[in-house]
Structure 1
Amino acid sequence: MPARPYRRPRARPIVAALAVLAAGLAGCGNDYVRFEGLSPSVEPEPAPKPAPREELTFKPVERVESVELGVTRDGALVHAVGLAPTTRWFAPTLRPRRGGAPAPDGFLEFDFVAAPPELNGGAPGEAGAPRLRRLQVALPLNEQTVRGAAGVRVFAAQGAAAARF
């Protein structure tokens, strides 16, 4: 079978019409709509002031219930379970102390923190049952971080929990 010569595909009518319309609108300005001399009937309200930065930060959870260590291909996995002071706390995380360097006793230390509901624009949570205040977080640690460490210690507002490697 002989090869057919290449034919450039034809532009679809809708695509061509949109291209013409876009080209025509590109040169249009607001020459026909003028708002000069108009003033608002009500003075605009000033924008609300943002809350001070220190109030909009993560805070320590109330207490740590458990800390578990798991071995992974690339290092270790720290799993911590804790209780928030009230319900509706979110985004739990483990923040390293000492820039991630081990403490003098060889333990890697972390603060268990979470965001209070006010940080998300919500109302303060209620003091609910512990199952409603429970938070979990998992943090992978690479092999370099784990090398030479004796274990992991996780701090909360009330106490700490630890696990050894």
Structure 2
Amino acid sequence: MNSPRIVLFAALLAVAPNAFADSATLTISGRVLPGTCTLDAPAITLDPVNANDLTQGDNLLKAGVLNFTGCVGVAKAVLTFDGTAADGDAARWKNTASADAADGVSIALLAGTTGSTYLKRGDTGIDVPVSGTTASYALRAGYYLPVLGGLTAGAVQADIVVTADYE
């Protein structure tokens, strides 16, 4: 009685295809990009000044610094500056204080601890070499009086966006 079942089972095994082995190569690719740093731009608070003590040009320059920390895989940072240029003076920054703003005064931002190189809107390609895991970029900021007269007392502020691209 079981013999027809066995014959059927044997016939099914005979027509079943043999299992084949196959292989493929898995390719994995990528690219290591330059690393990054953490950029810290501490606020520069200018000392208060009496309006009658300001002279034409830069006044009361105060040191500041951009700090780069935690740099990994970075040889240099390339800086770009953006914000609102002073009216009629692309080399300085507009006073954009939102309340009680002084009129007739703008802000000067200069590169380094000495010298007369202004950092202005649209400046790009400013290289900051990275040593190990840190770097810094010195700068100075101060009041700028374009002309004598026409000055009113009040708050002075500029928000300058510094972008760092890492290489």
Does the TM-score normalized on the shorter chain lie above 0.5?
A: no
Give TM class, smaller chain: under 0.3
Q: Could you say which structure has the higher helix fraction?
A: 1
Q: Which has the higher contact order (CA 8 A, sep 6+)?
A: 2
Greater radius of gyration (CA): 2
> TM-score, with normalisation over the residues of structure 1?
0.27
